[in-house]
Structure 1
Amino acid sequence: MSAAQDTRTAQASPLRQERPKPPSKTPATLGFILTALVIIACTWALQADWARALGIPQAIVQYAGLMSEGLWHNPFVLPHAEWWTVAFDFMFDSVYMAWIGTLIGAVISLPLGFAASRNVAPGWLVWITRTVLNIIRAVPEFILAIVFLLPLFGFHPAAGALALGIGSVGTLGKLTSEALEDISPGPVEALRATGASGLSVLRWGMLPQVLPEIISFWLYRFEVNIRAGAILGMLGLGGIGFLLSQLFDGREWARAGIALVVTIVVTIIVDQLSAAVRHRIIGQEQFAPKEVF
């Protein structure tokens, strides 16, 4: 090796040995400290008697024992057979209410999703539609039912179904608009190049790309509405929530345990069926052959 090469190697060696400076940990440390302070402040603001939380395990065991008493009796012998029948009737009312609410939300949210998409509608319409969707999402279904729907329908499951439907519009409309903004521009540009009308572009260029994803959103919202419908039932709007509120008020723990088991079983079955359908739809969409434009 020549002297010149030795000199270049000696000069290059310190450069190779230099390591980049590690990023500063100050922002992360400050973030952790700020998060801890927020948690402490929220905990203090609740002004809760946290010492009573130590009795939660004992209360769970006590009430679980009371509510499990009805589960050990023959479900085909009166009066326990009637308890199971009534629980299933009210639970199916909750399912019907959730289903109607989901249909209402799906029908209304689809056009609103197009109107809220930046690659579909003009800017002024996108702003107005998104503002409306934000307002809807900001108001819980519980408040919608109390303030607007109970005065119109009274204590009727129709009020609960409409509350779930209106609440679904805000979420489904937002998800639909986001799905539309992520579509592939190829089919849309090809249709526009052929002189297709705006409605034809929406129908044949955009909707087929997002429809499987939108249907999966609808199914997931149906699962959410079943649980939300149980809460609305506490207002007296029917469904399993209404039955549970009556049983808890009357301290009929055995019947309440049966109603809870029915709620859990039916909810799990619906969730599993819905999840299977969603995976089926999304899986077919992922593995379907794509046209090249």
Structure 2
Amino acid sequence: MSAETPTRPKPPPKWPYTLAGLALIGIVLVAGWSLDDARWERLPQFPREIVQYAGRMLDGVLTWPGAHPEGQADPALTYGDWWLQSLRLMGESVALAWIGTCVGALFSFPLAFLAASNTSPLVLRVPVRLFFNAIRAVPEILLAVIVMLPLFGLNPMAGAMAIGIHSIGSLGKLTLENIEAVDPRPVEAVAAAGASWWQRVRTAVIPQMLPETVAFWLYRFEVNIRASAILGVVSAGGIGALLNRVLRGREWEWGGIMLAVIIIVTILVDQLSAALRHRILHGAEATVVAA
């Protein structure tokens, strides 16, 4: 006598969770719309104003560099001077991002081994992970205003250190997860041969996690360029210093040049960083030469 094949029970319906999620989204939207300071009557004007300001910014980008902008405080300046000043400050932003990334990588790398579960005891993991979470939760601009500007003054080093400290938290989190994801078999083999903790880390852990960790550093450099672009608003260096002048003088043409420089430089750095990350993670592609 053959036993009957058991039937699989039907899964519970998913529509209650879908309705609950939609209801939650609706509540958040209604709460946002009910804000007292929201001027929703200006919403129909938004498309026209966007076209107006975008047109003025595009004029700044497309105007001949030798022309003189109208209505500016210094009549000797040309559009070419605006381009040069924007490029110089964007170079400063890239330098801030590079210094901050180096600071973050330098300090997060050793600390990550004290925070990973397979390389550190619990008594060390907990405080180091709390440290990573604490500094990662504070935005770079707040670090610059509250901590770095009082220490360094109105100096680009304040922006670089703010980016660096925030990068310690972000890179530390990514690096410790990378350490915990290594193959344990080489570590166990080295430990069975009588290796010390440092020998196990140096010979079995670092060779596995270093390529992807370096790729994380390059990706963080891209993120830091975007962060450094706004630190100049609080006098912490970078191209963001022009934003105050653009808003104060209503020089939207200069704002268009500044935005174009940020986009161009960011795209170039992103492409270069992506190529380097691909080379690090996958190596040089083998080419077959036909005989």
Q: TM-score, normalised by structure 1?
A: 0.86
Letter in 1 for 2:50: I
Letter in 2 for 1:36: G
Distance change (3 Å), C-alpha of 1:19 and 1:177:
closer
Q: Is the 8 A contact 2:144 2:236 kept in 1?
A: no
Letter in 2 for 1:66: R
Q: Is the 8 A contact 2:222 2:269 kept in 1?
A: yes
Q: Could you tell me which residue of structure 1 aligns to residue 143 of structure 2?
A: 144
Distance change (3 Å), C-alpha of 1:256 and 1:32:
closer
Q: How does 1:210-225 map to 2 (within 5 A)?
A: 210-225=209-224
Q: Could you tell me which residue of structure 2 aligns to residue 246 of structure 1?
A: 245
Gaps of 5+ in 1: 288-293
- The Cα of 1:147 is off from its aligned counterpart by 1.0
- The Cα of 1:65 is off from its aligned counterpart by 1.2
Q: Is 1:60 matched with 2:67?
A: no
Q: Could you tell me which residue of structure 2 aligns to residue 234 of structure 1?
A: 233
Q: Could you tell me which residue of structure 2 aligns to residue 158 of structure 1?
A: 157
Q: Could you tell me which residue of structure 2 aligns to residue 209 of structure 1?
A: 208
Q: How does 1:82-231 map to 2 (within 5 A)?
A: 82-231=81-230
Letter in 2 for 1:72: L
Distance 2:108 2:188 in 1: 25
Q: Is the 8 A contact 2:94 2:225 kept in 1?
A: yes
Which structure dedicates a bigger proportion of its chain to helix?
1
- The Cα of 1:279 is off from its aligned counterpart by 1.8
Distance change (3 Å), C-alpha of 1:196 and 1:158:
same
Runs ≥4 residues deviating over 6 A: none
Q: Is the 8 A contact 1:105 1:172 kept in 2?
A: yes
Q: Is the 8 A contact 1:108 1:169 kept in 2?
A: yes
Q: Is 1:34 matched with 2:30?
A: no
Q: Is 1:51 matched with 2:76?
A: no
Distance 1:94 1:256 in 2: 16
Identify which range, 93-102 or 183-192, moves more after superposition.
183-192
Q: TM-score, normalised by structure 2?
A: 0.87
Distance 1:46 1:274 in 2: 44
Q: How does 1:259-278 map to 2 (within 5 A)?
A: 259-278=258-277
Q: Deviations over 1:26-45 (max 9, x none)?
A: 34433433343234334434
- The Cα of 1:130 is off from its aligned counterpart by 0.5
Distance change (3 Å), C-alpha of 1:281 and 1:49:
same
- The Cα of 1:76 is off from its aligned counterpart by 5.8
Distance 2:36 2:125 in 1: 39
Q: Is 1:75 matched with 2:74?
A: no
Q: Is the 8 A contact 1:94 1:229 kept in 2?
A: yes
- The Cα of 1:136 is off from its aligned counterpart by 0.5
- The Cα of 1:162 is off from its aligned counterpart by 0.0
Q: Is the 8 A contact 1:118 1:181 kept in 2?
A: yes
Distance 2:103 2:91 in 1: 18
Gaps of 5+ in 2: 69-77, 287-291
Instruction: Name the SS for the 2:283 alignment partner.
Output: helix
- The Cα of 1:155 is off from its aligned counterpart by 0.9
Distance change (3 Å), C-alpha of 1:176 and 1:154:
same
Q: Is the 8 A contact 1:212 1:285 kept in 2?
A: no
Letter in 2 for 1:21: K
Q: Is the 8 A contact 1:87 1:240 kept in 2?
A: yes
Aligned Cα root-mean-square deviation (Å) = 2.5
Distance 1:132 1:55 in 2: 46
Q: Could you tell me which residue of structure 1 aligns to residue 289 of structure 2?
A: none
Distance 2:284 2:214 in 1: 12
Distance 1:21 1:189 in 2: 44
Letter in 1 for 2:49: A
- The Cα of 1:19 is off from its aligned counterpart by 7.6
Distance 1:162 1:286 in 2: 38
- The Cα of 1:285 is off from its aligned counterpart by 10
Letter in 1 for 2:34: W
Instruction: Choose 1 or 2 for highest CA Rg.
Output: 1
Identity percentage over the alignment?
A: 49
